[in-house]
Structure 1
Amino acid sequence: MTGTSALRFSGLGKRYGRRTWALRDCSLDLPQGNVIGLVGANGAGKTTLLQLAIGLLKPTEGTVSMFGRPLRMDSPAGLAEVGFVAQDHPLYRGFSVADMLRYGNSMNPRFDRPGAERRLRELGIPTEHRADRLSGGQQAQVALTLALAKQPRLLVLDEPVASLDPLARREFMKTLVEAVAEADLTVLLSSHVVTELERVCDHVVLLHQGRVRLTGDIDDLIAGHRMLTGPRTDDTAGVAGLIAATHGTRHSHLLVRQPVGMPAHPRWEANPVGLEDLVLAYLARPDTEPPQAASPPPPEPAGPGRRLSIVTDPSAAERQA
């Protein structure tokens, strides 16, 4: 990773109509050369953020910059920087895979047709077949291959594995990881499948109700949180850094954000937490700001007691025309 941001959002917001804000007060600095996971519930603003990031939407407020420059998607140079795969993997259904490769080669100045053909051979996808005759997993792989063949600096994927079965999902992610390893590429990937993101992503952004609730390097976030288990207590009001609390008959479990190395209270057992548990806990929080301070848990009580990819998105191409 270099010092240059791949994407920088400053006070970004998007309003539909007069009152409905899909995204508000979004300020992010996403690192270059990383695979960045974007997570959140349906309606959280993920697709809006991705479309703002690649110029398919104009912000109501705030700014977007890409690789240190203001976002410009109205020029061939700007379009060449970005590859995009939408959720439904839009392809020209009446085209054969070979037709789409020829079209992509004619429309994109850096299009790597030999590399795309090699990738498809390795995946066992026949190029003479029409797109509408391919399986869902094969369509997703073709869409990804076409986007990668542009040799973009930024690859944006909007829920690319949402409709795939587990095997196709795994193959798609494997292809993505191999592509990132071969190229100087930044990936922004939205998905509901948090376990997949934990395997392939370096960085995560969590959106909730149109606002950023959590962002950071995944390893750092996981290292900075832990699950404390101790005697049952309902008195958690004084626990700074508390994200979520669950209670059993005899024990309480507190997910807390605390500085690495801070010792737990001697009566409490500290355990690591996974990304999925972390995401779910933050989504369940009633507030929108992560805690800034941390302190040990309470003592034991006395009683018992969460067109950018021109060749893969025809509708986007029409909007750019």
Structure 2
Amino acid sequence: MNAVTTAQNALTAAPTAALTTTGLGKKYRRNWALRDCSLSVPQGRVVAMVGPNGAGKTTLLHLAVGLLAPDHGEVTVLGARAGTTRTLPRVAFLAQDKPLYGGFSVADMLRFGARMNPGWDQAFAERRLASLDIPAGRRVGKLSGGQQAQVALTVALAKRPDLLVLDEPLANLDPLARHEVMRGLMAAVADSGMTVVLSSHVVSDLVDTCDWLVVLNGGRVQVCGDIEDLLAEHRLLTGPSELADGVAGRLTVVDGDRTDRQATLLVRTGTERLSLDPRWTDRGVSLEELVLAYLRRPESAALPRPALAST
């Protein structure tokens, strides 16, 4: 077997990414909502997409589902260009405002979903809503906010997508409703194995549910990677301020705070084993600490290392 055949077989065996962007850019008049945005998300992941207001999250999600066209670069979904007939049947999108027809009954919404989606699973939709005690005859506009969110999520899930994109689905819900929506979503993911991309401002909603992290800041990707790996590669160090410059010279400092006597540094160590002065203490970081550290420092970035082809 020659080298060319080996390379071709490796490419064939490699799984197609759920979502890939390369040099992606989107401009509104004179302002760039996204610029030089490149990322890759494997299939089967539950992706947390976080960032401040105006970071470009909604723009990126709209590009991924074909509601917008890029001004620069490209975005592919499940191996095909986003927004095409090859991808649209395989993608479901739930916007922040949870678009539903208030005058429709719940049953009407399901009939509407069935008419619009060839792969519609009516039995699943009816079973899911019955388990949530949401009456089929109730008008959507008369439901609570949490119930409306569940109906909207059911319509998206009953399409049986390979990629489910959710833009702030928990916005304006009370804590109990947020918990119930996330629990239902995770159950559906476990049953189907689909990829989910979920944007949220509330990092606590993403803990123990998401396994891949994307941080957008200023229209660019700061962080993209497996959450367990990212947490393992970052440490929070506390020690004497007079020793902080020496540590900063050896390690990549993502964020830090100093007083006259003490310094606290969140550092990226990679896979290195730390060797520190005994006056320093170190511990792991939480997902929220990691996200906030990067958001406070837009110039910092933690991107996956490029994969090198073996020779």
Q: Same fold (TM over 0.5)?
A: yes
Deviations 1:7-41 (A, max 9, x none): 11011000011x20000001111110100110000
In the alignment, which of 266, 269, 289 is matched to residue 258 of structure 1?
A: 269
Does residue 39 (structure 1) correspond to residue 50 (structure 2)? The answer is yes
- Give the deviation of 1:246 after TM superposition: 1.6
- Give the deviation of 1:124 after TM superposition: 1.2
The TM-score, its normalising length taken from structure 2, stands at 0.89
In the alignment, which of 267, 275, 278 is matched to residue 287 of structure 2?
A: 275
Structure 1 runs (4+) greater than 3 angstroms displaced: 288-293
In the alignment, which of 12, 28, 34 is matched to residue 24 of structure 2?
A: 12
- Give the deviation of 1:145 after TM superposition: 0.4
In the alignment, which of 192, 198, 201 is matched to residue 189 of structure 1?
A: 198
CA distance, structure 1, for counterparts of residue 167 and residue 275 of structure 2: 40
Query: What secondary structure, in the 3-state scheme, does the structure 2 residue paired with 1:51 have?
Result: helix
1:167-246 equivalent positions in 2, closer than 5 A: 167-233=176-242, 235-236=244-245, 238-246=249-257
1:225 aligned partner, one-letter code: H
Count of aligned pairs? 289
- Give the deviation of 1:224 after TM superposition: 0.2
1:1-321 equivalent positions in 2, closer than 5 A: 3-17=15-29, 19-73=30-84, 75=85, 77-233=86-242, 235-236=244-245, 238-248=249-259, 250-267=261-278, 268-290=280-302
Query: What secondary structure, in the 3-state scheme, does the structure 1 residue paired with 2:102 have?
Result: coil
2:109 aligned partner, one-letter code: M
The TM-score, its normalising length taken from structure 1, stands at 0.86
CA distance, structure 1, for counterparts of residue 147 and residue 88 of structure 2: 25
CA distance, structure 2, for counterparts of residue 92 and residue 195 of structure 1: 31
CA distance, structure 1, for counterparts of residue 219 and residue 48 of structure 2: 16
Q: Is residue 242–residue 291 contact of structure 1 (8 Å, CA) maintained in 2?
A: no
Query: What secondary structure, in the 3-state scheme, does the structure 2 residue paired with 1:14 have?
Result: strand
The answer for the alignment partner of 1:319 in structure 2 is: none
Deviations 1:299-321 (A, max 9, x none): xxxxxxxxxxxxxxxxxxxxxxx
CA distance, structure 2, for counterparts of residue 72 and residue 164 of structure 1: 30
CA distance, structure 2, for counterparts of residue 91 and residue 123 of structure 1: 18
CA distance, structure 2, for counterparts of residue 117 and residue 233 of structure 1: 64
Query: What secondary structure, in the 3-state scheme, does the structure 1 residue paired with 2:165 have?
Result: strand
Q: Is residue 244–residue 263 contact of structure 2 (8 Å, CA) maintained in 1?
A: no
Query: What secondary structure, in the 3-state scheme, does the structure 2 residue paired with 1:229 have?
Result: strand
CA change 1:286–1:161 in 2 (3 A) is closer
Structure 2 alignment gaps of length 5 or more: 1-13, 306-311
- Give the deviation of 1:162 after TM superposition: 1.5
- Give the deviation of 1:264 after TM superposition: 3.4
Q: Is residue 252–residue 268 contact of structure 2 (8 Å, CA) maintained in 1?
A: yes
2:285 aligned partner, one-letter code: V
CA change 1:124–1:117 in 2 (3 A) is same
The 10-residue stretch of structure 1 (227-236 or 8-17) with the greater mean CA deviation from structure 2: 227-236
Query: What secondary structure, in the 3-state scheme, does the structure 2 residue paired with 1:233 have?
Result: helix
Query: What secondary structure, in the 3-state scheme, does the structure 1 residue paired with 2:206 have?
Result: helix
- Identity between Structure 1 and Structure 2 (%): 54
Query: What secondary structure, in the 3-state scheme, does the structure 1 residue paired with 2:264 have?
Result: strand
Q: Is residue 241–residue 291 contact of structure 1 (8 Å, CA) maintained in 2?
A: no
The answer for the alignment partner of 1:307 in structure 2 is: none
CA distance, structure 1, for counterparts of residue 303 and residue 69 of structure 2: 32
CA distance, structure 2, for counterparts of residue 286 and residue 131 of structure 1: 42
CA RMSD of aligned residues (A): 1.8
2:143 aligned partner, one-letter code: L
